[in-house]
Chains A and B, each alone.
Chain A
Amino acid sequence: MSNIRYEEIEGNGVGFYTLVACLGVLILAALGSVYYMEHNGHYVTGMSNRIVWGTPHVFAIFLIVAASGALNVASISSVFHKKMYKPLSRLSGLAALSLLAGGLMILVLDLGRPDRLIVAMTEYNFKSIFAWNIILYNGFFVVVGVYLWMMFERRMNKFSSKVGLLAFTWRLILTTGTGSIFGFLVARQAYDAVIMAPMFIIMSFAFGLAFFILILMASYKWSDRQLGDVVVNRLGNLLGVFIAAVIYFVAIYHLGNLYLAENTRVENFILFDGGIYTQLFWYGQILLGGLAPMALIYNPSTKGNRSMLGLASVLVIIGGIIQIYVLIIGGQAYPIEMFPGMDIIEGYGGIASYVPSLPEILLGIGGIAVSLVAIIFLVKFLPFLPESLADEVADPHHKS
């Protein structure tokens, strides 16, 4: 493998500014929505005392999970010493930081009192998983920031493997923290499962890689740089494995719940008679977000086709958002089983209704836009991308 040269993208064409302008509009729409929701109060949203976390949380959790997964490409290089991934490490770190920033923006702006963010930064209840997460998220910015510095600064390159190991460990703990937000909730039947933590980790592998593949392919295509099949196909294969692993964890989670009498009702709700949630689970999460992208990646007729890999990545992202929607909204819509052996016939219970309001959706999409804008500007101003990832450059075993 020859020496890798990193270069900023030019980013001054019409296409570039159109893209930035479109994302800018989405961000403005999100900020407008925040003003509207915070000014009036949450009554203007679809959220209620039953569905306390709505669509903004779906996007926020999705982006936070994807963020830690996007760092995997760098980890494969510096922790597992796979040379081929080394040129992708800088972009991987950047994608991780940007996705996390977008996710956190949504989370903070959906608070009842976002003006009290300073309280969250100064008052810690160390028993709260949320408080751990605040520390883990802030720490992630620092650790990945230092990791990027080690990669960028030639004199520091020798430390990048050690800092990479720290970043990898940190991201595993971070996603464990995110999964545990739900895994440690004893109150609700859909949650309260320790498997949530490893399941979130494997979800992060898939979602993060899907984002990474799209960002990589788009930036190389739009900046007219060479991206060889070796890199793309390797990432595609890896995505296929991660999707399969997510399906495995989802299956174990639901089978485990079905086995327990106390959770059969909520499982019946999600899997069989939950209306929109059942449909989203089977058609959205499993079919669209799992089986379809796997077919696109492994089917001989579409295998190795870059557009199909792009489509598969988009499907993984859409399926991932649906998966988190079913988990967060579906899990809350099903009533808490307060009286085992009894039906609540008045005063509480029934399936809570929830229709996402436009401002909630705009806030969520705005978070994704913030992540993308951050990536676009940083690859323009800092040398994140290798000037070429053609096979003869990227592949350590390339024979010309």
Chain B
Amino acid sequence: MSKALNRRDFIKTSTAVGVTTVAAGVTLTTFAENKEAVTNQKRWGMLIDTNNLTEAEIDNMVSACMKEHGWGSELHSTGDQKPSWIKKIKVQDRTTKKITSLPLMCQHCEQPPCVDVCPTNASMKREDGIVLVDKHLCIGCRYCMMACPYDARSFVHEDLTNQKEHMPRGKGTVESCTLCVHKVDNGEQPACVDSVNSDAVIFGDLKNSNSKINKTLRQIQSTQIRADLNLNTGVRYSGI
């Protein structure tokens, strides 16, 4: 070798490499870090007033979700294989025959059965009550889909391309409504809530006594779907 590496050069090079590595890491961490840590001081939730929500508005909510997260344009999946993060449901009372339409999505339970059954902790609940699937831990066993009382989860049945940056969907994993966590963390509202131009759907912090959702829930009568299961859902309904 013509030029041997002397000690001074070695120290210089190593320092340079070290600084570059650490600086890059620090920068990335700074970017990734949230301004505020997620705590259980907040509990995100939604109140859906089915008496004031039209069917067209429910359809808009579904479209907004599809657009935001990029689901619904799968090429091969048919019928029940198609993903459905949010859907329009019509129910009819067996006795009075009253018909009610409502949007149904992940109810973001306080005691989510999907999280209980997930073997790998891929299904998880954030401190602020948002229930999510970690796409990197999901092994695609679908036990969470068996356990969810709301049929809220979908399994990706085929290869996907052009996924959204904030939503790394992938074949062989399970997915569901994220309550638009990427928007909520930036102080925005979920896409479906944004698509409704009235107070028929209210999003907010269930715990904050000054929030609109908390105030409304204290005034009106509301319900949780399958309240008997005692899951304490984050999504509440009035009018059903």
A binds B: yes
**In the complex, how many angstroms separate the beta carbon of A118 from the nearest chain B beta carbon?**
9
Question: A41-B157, A43-B158 in contact; A130/B143 too (CB < 8 A)?
Answer: yes
Question: A49-B81, A130-B141, A345-B91 in contact; A111/B149 too (CB < 8 A)?
Answer: no
Any chain A CB within 8 A of the CB of B199?
no
15 contacting pairs across A/B (C-beta < 8 A): A43-B76, A48-B81, A49-B84, A52-B142, A112-B156, A128-B118, A129-B117, A185-B113, A185-B117, A187-B147, A336-B151, A339-B240, A342-B94, A344-B89, A347-B104
Q: Out of B87, B115, B116, B145, which one reaches A348, CB within 8 Å?
A: B87
Any chain B CB within 8 A of the CB of A352?
yes
- Select the stretch in B1-9, B132-140, B181-189, B214-222 that faces chain A: B132-140
Question: A124-B119, A130-B141 in contact; A346/B172 too (CB < 8 A)?
Answer: no
Closest to A57 in B: B142
Interface residues of B in 140-165 (CB under 8 A from A): 140-143, 145-151, 153-159
Are B155 and A52 neighbours in the complex by a CB distance under 8 Å? yes
Any chain A CB within 8 A of the CB of B174?
yes
Interface residues of A in 227-284 (CB under 8 A from B): none
Q: Out of A43, A346, A347, A352, which one reaches B157, CB within 8 Å?
A: A43
Are B118 and A346 neighbours in the complex by a CB distance under 8 Å? no
Are B146 and A52 neighbours in the complex by a CB distance under 8 Å? yes
Any chain B CB within 8 A of the CB of A306?
no
Residue from A42, A43, A51, A345 whose CB has the most chain B CB atoms within 10 Å: A43
Complex CA–CA separation, A50 to B94 (angstroms): 24
Are A52 and B94 neighbours in the complex by a CB distance under 8 Å? no
Are A185 and B147 neighbours in the complex by a CB distance under 8 Å? yes
Q: Out of B91, B92, B142, which one reaches A112, CB within 8 Å?
A: B142
Are B94 and A113 neighbours in the complex by a CB distance under 8 Å? no
**Chain A interface mostly helix, strand, loop or mixed?**
loop
Any chain A CB within 8 A of the CB of B166?
no
**Chain B interface mostly helix, strand, loop or mixed?**
loop
Any chain A CB within 8 A of the CB of B225?
yes
Chain B residues lying within 8 Å of A18, measured Cβ to Cβ, are none
Complex CA–CA separation, A111 to B138 (angstroms): 10
Using a Cβ–Cβ cut-off of 8 Å, how many residues does chain A contribute to the interface with B? 50
A-B contact count (CB 8 A): 175
Complex CA–CA separation, A268 to B14 (angstroms): 75
Complex CA–CA separation, A278 to B90 (angstroms): 28
Complex CA–CA separation, A43 to B118 (angstroms): 23
Closest to B226 in A: A338
Are A130 and B91 neighbours in the complex by a CB distance under 8 Å? no
Digit string of B89-106 for contact with A (CB within 8 Å is 1, else 0)? Answer: 111111100010100100
Question: A49-B153, A338-B150 in contact; A42/B119 too (CB < 8 A)?
Answer: no
Are B146 and A187 neighbours in the complex by a CB distance under 8 Å? yes
Are B94 and A43 neighbours in the complex by a CB distance under 8 Å? no
Digit string of B196-236 for contact with A (CB within 8 Å is 1, else 0)? Answer: 00000000000000000000000000000110110000000
**In the complex, how many angstroms separate the beta carbon of A129 from the nearest chain B beta carbon?**
7
Any chain B CB within 8 A of the CB of A120?
yes
Chain B residues lying within 8 Å of A49, measured Cβ to Cβ, are 80-84, 145, 151, 153-155
Any chain A CB within 8 A of the CB of B173?
yes
Are B151 and A346 neighbours in the complex by a CB distance under 8 Å? no
Are A40 and B158 neighbours in the complex by a CB distance under 8 Å? yes
**In the complex, how many angstroms separate the beta carbon of B144 from the nearest chain A beta carbon?**
9
Contacts from A to B (Cβ < 8 Å): 38, 40-44, 47-53, 111-114, 116-117, 119-120, 123-125, 127-131, 134, 181, 185-188, 332, 336, 338-348, 352-353
Are B118 and A125 neighbours in the complex by a CB distance under 8 Å? yes
Are B145 and A113 neighbours in the complex by a CB distance under 8 Å? no
**In the complex, how many angstroms separate the beta carbon of B106 from the nearest chain A beta carbon?**
13
User: Top 7 closest A-B pairs, CB basis?
Assistant: A112-B140, A112-B172, A48-B80, A346-B90, A187-B149, A130-B119, A41-B158
**In the complex, how many angstroms separate the beta carbon of B118 from the nearest chain A beta carbon?**
6
Are B141 and A111 neighbours in the complex by a CB distance under 8 Å? yes
Chain B residues lying within 8 Å of A127, measured Cβ to Cβ, are 116-117
Q: Out of B80, B121, B156, which one reaches A51, CB within 8 Å?
A: B80
**In the complex, how many angstroms separate the beta carbon of B239 from the nearest chain A beta carbon?**
13
Chain A residues lying within 8 Å of B140, measured Cβ to Cβ, are 111-113, 116
Chain A residues lying within 8 Å of B81, measured Cβ to Cβ, are 42-43, 47-49
Are A41 and B118 neighbours in the complex by a CB distance under 8 Å? no
Chain A residues lying within 8 Å of B141, measured Cβ to Cβ, are 111-112, 120, 130
Any chain A CB within 8 A of the CB of B43?
no
Are A119 and B104 neighbours in the complex by a CB distance under 8 Å? no
Chain A residues lying within 8 Å of B171, measured Cβ to Cβ, are 41, 112
Question: A112-B142, A123-B120 in contact; A346/B89 too (CB < 8 A)?
Answer: yes
Complex CA–CA separation, A339 to B101 (angstroms): 12
Are B157 and A339 neighbours in the complex by a CB distance under 8 Å? no
Are B172 and A41 neighbours in the complex by a CB distance under 8 Å? yes
Chain A residues lying within 8 Å of B41, measured Cβ to Cβ, are none
Are A119 and B120 neighbours in the complex by a CB distance under 8 Å? yes
Are A134 and B119 neighbours in the complex by a CB distance under 8 Å? yes
Closest to B81 in A: A48
**In the complex, how many angstroms separate the beta carbon of A33 from the nearest chain B beta carbon?**
16
Are A42 and B157 neighbours in the complex by a CB distance under 8 Å? yes
Complex CA–CA separation, A345 to B172 (angstroms): 30
Complex CA–CA separation, A247 to B154 (angstroms): 36
Chain B residues lying within 8 Å of A130, measured Cβ to Cβ, are 117-119, 141, 143
Are B76 and A41 neighbours in the complex by a CB distance under 8 Å? yes
Chain A residues lying within 8 Å of B143, measured Cβ to Cβ, are 128, 130, 181
